[in-house]
Amino acid sequence: MSSANNIVSNAAAPTFKSSYKIASIPGDGIGPEVVSATIEVLKVLTKKLDTFELEITDFDWGTDRYLKTGRYTPEDYLEVLKGFDAILFGSVGSPSVPDHISLWGLRLAICQPLQQYANVRPTRILPGTKSPLANCQPGDLDWVIVRENSEGEYAGQGGRSHVGCDHEVATELSIFTRTGVRRIAQFAFSVAQNRPRKMLTYVTKSNAQRNGMVMWDEVIREVAEDYPNVTVDHMLVDAMTVRMVLNPRSLDTILATNLHADILSDLAAALAGSIGIAPTANLDPTRKNPSMFEPIHGSAFDITGLGLANPVATFWTASEMLHWLGESEAAVSLMHAVEKICAAGVVTRDLGGNAGTKEVTKAVVQEILDPKPQ
């Protein structure tokens, strides 16, 4: 079982506590539904184990708040968040607000200032779920995608001039720094080094993007010299999509830029069965700031309020959060319960089942309280 904490040796060690402070930001759409389900499961889990507590504080930071106040967060939100051990995030985005405003108003406003530069997205086929790839078995697709999360294509630099005119100009500047590339490369190599296959594939587009992407290639090759036991190969991003579909077993740990990994990880989730099962950890490996954990899926307003949202991605996300906090026994217990109910066929429509959010949550709670024999 992959986890950000278990597989990364160059991150600072966790500080074990009897109680952890968790900031809960359900956000928009199905975010409140899946976060609420996850908190229910976490309360049952911690009560049963009786080894630590989670002190969870809910925040109403989302589009409703933005429409009322003009801000997604209060002005002192960063100082508020720094008082927590971790952040559990749902989703952000609403049909009533342009996506670039909501994303930069909340999610990116947290990740970038808190130096959560390592976005880690484990992907595998869970028991009872099926890949759309005809011959892909569970062991054939077991990846960790490491995404640079602080700069690159999402640096937020650029602008528009002569807006609305025929000669309007818009620029979107990608910014890559040697420091930023080196630290995410070191993180990714550490992930690869601590996985059984010790393989890393890094993805760029350096044939066409001859400056920033070429520097990425150069820095990664330099870092690779410090990890001689890791097998390294390089793919162009367009060719990588083909390899992920046609030869998933050839991949293990994947490193890519902010934009490239964002796209590739959605493809990976779909290949594993559904975007509704995919977790994300936004990590500050130094642990100077709290890290944030969220499901990959968005706010999904088409199913909001219908009780159809798949909570598995958020359950898996919470397991990653527990691993990061150092509570690996709890993390493993949670994922075992999730895998057992998936194997038993208690799954939502996106996985071919007919269970709703409440039914899946109830089944996971029951499995935690009364585990069935293997």
Which member of 28, 72, 117, 205 is catalytic?
Answer: 205
Q: Does the active-site annotation cover 238?
A: yes
Which member of 64, 130, 266, 362 is catalytic?
Answer: 266
Dist. CA 279–CA 63, nearest whole Å: 22
Residue with tokens 């996300």: 317
Which member of 60, 99, 233, 238 is catalytic?
Answer: 238
317-329 burial code (b ≥16 CB/10 A, e <16):
bbbbbbbbbbbbe
Residue with tokens 């998933």: 248
Dist. CA 150–CA 176, nearest whole Å: 10
Classified as helix, coil or strand, 312 is: helix
Extended beta strands in the chain, E state: 19-27, 53-58, 86-91, 118-124, 142-148, 152-161, 169-175, 199-204, 231-236, 253-256, 279-283, 291-295
Beta carbons of 269 and 132 less than 8 angstroms apart: no
Q: Does the active-site annotation cover 82?
A: no
Q: Does the active-site annotation cover 166?
A: no
Which member of 72, 154, 202, 227 is catalytic?
Answer: 154
Beta carbons of 316 and 279 less than 8 angstroms apart: yes
Q: Does the active-site annotation cover 68?
A: no
Q: List Cβ<8 Å contacts ≥24 apart for 95-104.
A: 95/301, 96/63, 96/67, 97/63, 97/66, 97/67, 101/66, 102/28, 102/63, 102/66, 102/72, 104/156
Q: Does the active-site annotation cover 205?
A: yes
Dist. CA 147–CA 129, nearest whole Å: 25
By annotation, the residues acting in catalysis are: 154, 205, 238, 262, 266
